[in-house]
Amino acid sequence: MAIEMEHHSPLANVNQAPASASEGDAASPPPFTRRSSARPSSGNHSQPNLKRLLGRRVFAQPQKRQKRRRVTPDQLTILEEEFCKNAKPTAANRERIADEVNMTKQSVQIWFQNRRAKVKWWAKKNLETCADFNSIPEYVKAYMALEATETGNGLVCDYPGRAGLIPVSHNSVLFGGNQAEGTVLTHHLTCRSLRIGKWIRVRQHSIDLSVSYSPQECTMTYYINNEQARYKVEYPFWHIKNIWLENRDSDPNTMGGIVIELNRAPFFFTDLSSETGSFYEVGDFTEDLQATQCNLHRIEGNPTVLANQLAELVSLDSFINRHILQHYATAVAGDPHTLSLSAPVSAITQLGSQHNDPQPRVNMLQGHWGVGQTHSSWHQPHGHRRQRSRSVPDTVDLTTSRNQSTLLSYDQPQGEMKPHHNENKYAPVPQQSNDLRRNLRIDTDAGFGLDMSQYPVLATATPLSDFSFSPTGTYQSQGPEGEPLSAASFGTPYCNGAFGFPMVDTESSCAAISPIPPNASSGPFVA
Amino acid sequence: MAIEMEHHSPLANVNQAPASASEGDAASPPPFTRRSSARPSSGNHSQPNLKRLLGRRVFAQPQKRQKRRRVTPDQLTILEEEFCKNAKPTAANRERIADEVNMTKQSVQIWFQNRRAKVKWWAKKNLETCADFNSIPEYVKAYMALEATETGNGLVCDYPGRAGLIPVSHNSVLFGGNQAEGTVLTHHLTCRSLRIGKWIRVRQHSIDLSVSYSPQECTMTYYINNEQARYKVEYPFWHIKNIWLENRDSDPNTMGGIVIELNRAPFFFTDLSSETGSFYEVGDFTEDLQATQCNLHRIEGNPTVLANQLAELVSLDSFINRHILQHYATAVAGDPHTLSLSAPVSAITQLGSQHNDPQPRVNMLQGHWGVGQTHSSWHQPHGHRRQRSRSVPDTVDLTTSRNQSTLLSYDQPQGEMKPHHNENKYAPVPQQSNDLRRNLRIDTDAGFGLDMSQYPVLATATPLSDFSFSPTGTYQSQGPEGEPLSAASFGTPYCNGAFGFPMVDTESSCAAISPIPPNASSGPFVA
DNA sequence: TTCTAATGTAATGTT
DNA sequence: AACATTACATTAGT
């Protein structure tokens, strides 16, 4: 006698879930486990809910609870995209978005509110896991740093036993306490997305994705956060064969990108236990092993900003001399496992100079991590179709590039991988090497408006070191072909082909955090 | 190769602290709904579940899904108890509870949420089984009515083909559509628990337990809902030998109670098939056949409220004349099975007057249900220990009774059971017979806050009839001994001794809804 | 399987 | 809007 519970107004606001459940509804389960689902095609019910009407509190808002409408993946994509651009859209903007995604303004507003809350929660969560400042995991520091650079503010940590200011420069933050000891300078590349081969990871918020490098550690690190798990991709400078800027348009609204060509695969880490905040090395977690098979990494973002940041990077002694230092590092660190980049504030950084000079002396002691060398090596592509994506164009269109590109390359002598069609080797040309903007630009409205003040971290402005050249600075530029290396299939110690990762298919660029399809959840993982 | 995903900080925060939730704050979900838990005392290992890491698309929420902790029976008892008192405890209260049951605040909150959802699901389930308004089973109406009376609102049904308002008075609801036809007036006794002999059924929510009577049908009905199954106990007015109010304290916070002494056993019904929404007669489903062996039923609740409701009941013509009408009914309905109270909106109600007078003319056509007379008769107690419970005191302590008691009795002439030691016969004394409170008292805070408005039932306020005498009204009172009848063992048609039911032993007063012991669910039910 | 603890997120309500 | 909470929908553990 199934009754017709659904009686939606015909004007169905699309939202249709093509495949709506059919109301199995057996008589059984409790409230949880709901069978019926009949996607509401918008029955804009305006049930009065007189209960409230009669409340002693006057005639408050009747409104029965709005029917819960799940946002579809499509809608989510757009919403996330918008959130990327602006986490706090104006009413007008919200209306536009609402129209675009076919949701009510209300829903859109709520979505943004909840979304912001989520981001905030992440931040909070991360910070809460730290017993004291020194145990703040790297990814959090990365976040803090990025947050700080985005807002132009510094950070304060008032964890018990380690309260104080965390100095911050324009795009680098000093961690590790007072600058007199154990200071680790981290620089960030302000990116919106990270693209490796056909996969892309879009940054929804600072905590989601951050790219940074340590002049002292001589490492580049991508931090990727998802829900509770942290991931990072890391490699020493000497893995970098070439690096250049690729930006088709100087329009800040257009994405530019730093392209990094590696001569060896990076290392992969994950930290599933939020308790410790430490990383464990794992195999390539990107789907299809893109990060291992493709040696071209593209850090996308505002071209102007990235240009400056790239300039800063390439002017580092530790970067310039990365391949020389590599020899030193490998020679000293005989045991690949002796050192780990995942150790918070490694003591080896003491080898480097500690002054604020953005180009500190270098120490290059990172060894190899992982069980074997296999995953640390690049392999020749074979059998794997070369993919072409927007992020990895065959050629750099210099004619359309209103800005300039930078190419810095260095052939990796010992690389197992054959450097292919790459004649573009440029020795880094140190550009102006000091503060052009000693004064921080404090802009509270910048960023996502995330108010960290309620957390143990607060903002302040303590310019320490600042380096980057003027937005109008220019590099000699020349783009390589950018043909990605690809290896067909070879085993990496900790993963198999089914191991997908935090990267999104190029087609759906902003659905980064969206839930995983059910069928994707059961691959053989731990052997 | 199984990577070592487990790596707890050595400082094993064993979390011991047996009593205090250590707020381990595990990592989990988004900002909303603070989770975190880390239950004390258990080896809080956070198995990462890398499975999820493999998402083809984005990530993979490593989901450090909180380890599932089953609540122990002890905890459940307390939780249910608290739920009885307040289904929506405040944060402070939740914390207290958490401490008491040694669970995290989070878990407690989740428990309550799920618990509320369950209750809601029941309600919904019930409503969904109705093809149209007229087929809404009585128990649902009872629920709706009770819900309505608790919120002070009426009900609206917008089922297709049967939309409209359902008028409601203070504690009665008219069902059956417009009042010009087929109207069935149902009155409710606002109770918190139902006690029969040594067993008690506690109401956790409206849907769990409701006691109502139909002046027109001349029946008293107890609706008991447990999980998916519905039960009801029903008997015509003429089964009532005596009825009185027993309240030791006028304090609203103290339970008072209406005591009903029967001269015949009631009828039992169940509706295990939620599809039909109709009841099947069964044997006594109360444990130890208490409902059959004990003729004293106690409806407990706010003494003042019950006093008023009782006054209303006893002033009904149909009640006053119940024994006379009984003769008529049995005479007309030769076949005991001709009529069934379980039929929704019986047509015979037309015999009664339809105006809003709370004391409609009576019709008394109910016949006998059940296969035989056996279970409809009271038997002399023998062998079964007479129990004495608070609800069935040997004497009514008039001196301590700050309010008044009412005793209305009538010896059942044909009862197979020998009326024993009962000389207290009072002809009902109609007290003031009309509305003293025509105006509804609206109190939104009443009830559990269950908003039924999202269901096909909505609220409105349409005072129709309202009767009860003032809270200070008085009855002549005299309590009977209240010695319960008890029969040792005699077979009832559809049940065996093993058939337990949603009643709890007096000792554990609030575990009413707790799952029925497995062995209690498989008795030969519908013959 | 069922039941239900836990998760994720849309919607509410309050300030 | 932030924030705390609830309802609701789903997942997943036992």
In DSSP notation, B477-520 reads ------PPP------BTTB-TT---S-EETTSTT-TTSPPPGGG
**Distance, CA of B248 to CA of B246 (rounded, Å):** 7
Per-residue model confidence (pLDDT) at position B392: 29
- Of B422, B494, B500, the C-alpha closest to B240 is B422
Whether residue B213 has pLDDT greater than 60 = yes
- Of A283, A508, A518, A291, the C-alpha closest to B55 is A518
Does residue A500 lie within 7 Å of nucleic acid chain D, judged by its CB?
no
b/e per residue A217-231 (b: at least 16 CB within 10 A): bbbbbbbbbbbbbbb
Percent of chain B whose predicted confidence (pLDDT) is above 90: 2
Most confident of A205-219, A419-433, B464-478: A205-219
pLDDT tens figures, A312-323: 888 887 787 777
Mean pLDDT of A488-500: 27
**Distance, CA of B504 to CA of B500 (rounded, Å):** 10
Does residue B363 lie within 7 Å of nucleic acid chain D, judged by its CB?
no
pLDDT tens figures, B489-505: 222 222 222 222 333 33
CB-based contact A273 B6, cutoff 8 Å: yes
Does residue B43 lie within 7 Å of nucleic acid chain D, judged by its CB?
no
Give CA separation, A2 vs A114, A247, B129, B157, in Å. Answer: 36, 61, 7, 16
CB atoms under 10 Å from CB of B433, counted, come to 15
Which residue carries 């609800």 as its tokens?
A: B391
Helix (H) or strand (E) holding B207: none
Per-residue model confidence (pLDDT) at position A228: 60
Strand A504-505 to A219-226 pairing: unpaired
Q: Which residues pair with A172 in a beta bridge?
A: A187
Q: Which amino acid type is present at position A441?
A: R
Mean pLDDT of B34-46: 35
**Distance, CA of A366 to CA of A346 (rounded, Å):** 10
Q: Give the residue, B106 or A363, on which the prediction is more confident.
A: B106
Mean pLDDT of B225-238: 79
Angle at CA B132, nearest 5°, toward B129 and B136? Answer: 55
Strand A267-271 to A280-282 pairing: antiparallel
Whether residue B56 has pLDDT greater than 50 = no
**Distance, CA of A427 to CA of A182 (rounded, Å):** 31
Whether residue B314 has pLDDT greater than 80 = yes
Helix and strand totals (H; E) in chain A: 9, 17
The residues, ordered by sequence, that sit 6+ positions from B216 with a Cβ below 8 Å of its Cβ are B184, B185, B318, B349, B351, B352, B360, B362, B363
Percent of chain A whose predicted confidence (pLDDT) is above 70: 32
Per-residue model confidence (pLDDT) at position A108: 93
**Distance, CA of A456 to CA of A434 (rounded, Å):** 32
Cβ distance B87 to B77 under 8 Å? no
User: Closest to B1 (Cβ–Cβ): which among A121, A270, A527?
Assistant: A527
Which residue carries 């640390």 as its tokens?
A: A376
Cβ distance A374 to A490 under 8 Å? yes
DSSP, res B168? B
CB-based contact A49 B451, cutoff 8 Å: yes
CB-based contact A51 B453, cutoff 8 Å: yes
In the 3-class helix/strand/coil scheme, how is A258-277 assigned residue by residue? EEEEECCCCEEEEECCCCCC
Per-residue model confidence (pLDDT) at position A192: 81
**Distance, CA of A513 to CA of B61 (rounded, Å):** 9
Chain A residues in contact with B460 (beta carbon < 8 A)? 50
Whether residue B108 has pLDDT greater than 80 = yes
**Distance, CA of B222 to CA of B220 (rounded, Å):** 7
Whether residue B329 has pLDDT greater than 90 = no
Q: Give the residue, A508 or A319, on which the prediction is more confident.
A: A319
**Distance, CA of B311 to CA of A261 (rounded, Å):** 89
Q: For residues A53, A58, A63 and A64, what is the CA-based torsion angle, rounded to 10 degrees? A: -60
CB-based contact B3 A282, cutoff 8 Å: yes
**Distance, CA of A346 to CA of A361 (rounded, Å):** 16
- The token pair that represents A478 in the structure block: 């020349």
Q: Which amino acid type is present at position B453?
A: S
DSSP, res A419? P
CB-based contact A56 B443, cutoff 8 Å: yes
The band of B124, judged by pLDDT with boundaries at 50, 70 and 90, is low
pLDDT tens figures, B245-255: 886 555 656 67
Query: Under DSSP, is residue B92 helix (H, G, I), strand (E, B) or coil?
Result: helix
Per-residue model confidence (pLDDT) at position B277: 57
The band of B110, judged by pLDDT with boundaries at 50, 70 and 90, is very high
- The token pair that represents B375 in the structure block: 């279970």
Whether residue A221 has pLDDT greater than 80 = yes
CB-based contact B54 A371, cutoff 8 Å: no
Does residue A451 lie within 7 Å of nucleic acid chain D, judged by its CB?
yes
Per-residue model confidence (pLDDT) at position A187: 80
Helix (H) or strand (E) holding B222: strand B219-226
Give CA separation, B362 vs A413, B266, B429, in Å. Answer: 105, 20, 17
Q: List the A169 CA – C9 C1' distance (angstroms).
A: 37
Q: Which residues pair with B221 in a beta bridge?
A: B212, B234
Mean pLDDT of A232-255: 77
Q: List the B145 CA – C1 C1' distance (angstroms).
A: 35
Whether residue B227 has pLDDT greater than 50 = yes
Give CA separation, A148 vs A159, A337, B306, in Å. Answer: 17, 33, 65
Mean pLDDT of A326-348: 39
Task: Report the complex ipTM.
Answer: 0.40
The residues, ordered by sequence, that sit 6+ positions from B185 with a Cβ below 8 Å of its Cβ are B172, B173, B174, B175, B214, B215, B216, B358, B360, B465
Helix (H) or strand (E) holding A156: strand A155-159
Per-residue model confidence (pLDDT) at position B427: 32
pLDDT tens figures, A49-98: 322 322 222 332 334 678 888 888 888 888 877 876 777 888 888 999 99
The band of A218, judged by pLDDT with boundaries at 50, 70 and 90, is confident
Q: Give the residue, B328 or B129, on which the prediction is more confident.
A: B328
Whether residue A260 has pLDDT greater than 90 = yes
Residues A180, A183, A189, A190: is their CA dihedral positive or negative? negative
Whether residue B209 has pLDDT greater than 50 = yes
Mean pLDDT of A262-289: 76
Mean pLDDT of A486-495: 26
Per-residue model confidence (pLDDT) at position B205: 65
Per-residue model confidence (pLDDT) at position B28: 40
Mean pLDDT of A410-432: 34
**Distance, CA of A508 to CA of B6 (rounded, Å):** 34
CB atoms under 10 Å from CB of A524, counted, come to 12
**In this structure, what are the phi and psi dihedrals at residue A85, rounded to the nearest 5 degrees?**
-75, -40
CB-based contact A117 B30, cutoff 8 Å: yes
Q: Which of A227, A267, A278, A519 to mutate to test the interface with B (most CBs of B within 10 A)?
A: A227
Chain C footprint positions (protein CB, under 7 Å): 2-13
**Distance, CA of A309 to CA of A312 (rounded, Å):** 5
Chain A residues in contact with B129 (beta carbon < 8 A)? 1, 3, 27
Q: Give the residue, B335 or B266, on which the prediction is more confident.
A: B266
Mean confidence (pLDDT) of chain A: 52
Cβ distance A62 to A49 under 8 Å? yes
DSSP, res A495? B
Per-residue model confidence (pLDDT) at position B235: 92
Percent of chain B whose predicted confidence (pLDDT) is above 70: 32
Taking the C1' atom of every nucleotide in all shown strands and the CA of B515, the nearest one is C3
Q: List the A88 CA – C15 C1' distance (angstroms).
A: 20
Cβ distance A210 to A150 under 8 Å? no
The residues, ordered by sequence, that sit 6+ positions from A295 with a Cβ below 8 Å of its Cβ are A241, A261, A262, A263, A265, A378, A417, A484, A485
Helix axes B91-101, B73-85, angle to 10 degrees: 150
Chain B residues in contact with A121 (beta carbon < 8 A)? 30-32
Q: B1 to chain A nearest CA, in Å?
A: 6
Mean confidence (pLDDT) of chain B: 52
**Distance, CA of B213 to CA of B142 (rounded, Å):** 10
pLDDT tens figures, B150-200: 433 333 333 323 223 333 333 444 443 333 344 556 787 888 888 888 778
Per-residue model confidence (pLDDT) at position A253: 63
Taking the C1' atom of every nucleotide in all shown strands and the CA of B70, the nearest one is C5
Lowest-confidence segment of A379-383, A392-396, A414-418 by average pLDDT: A392-396
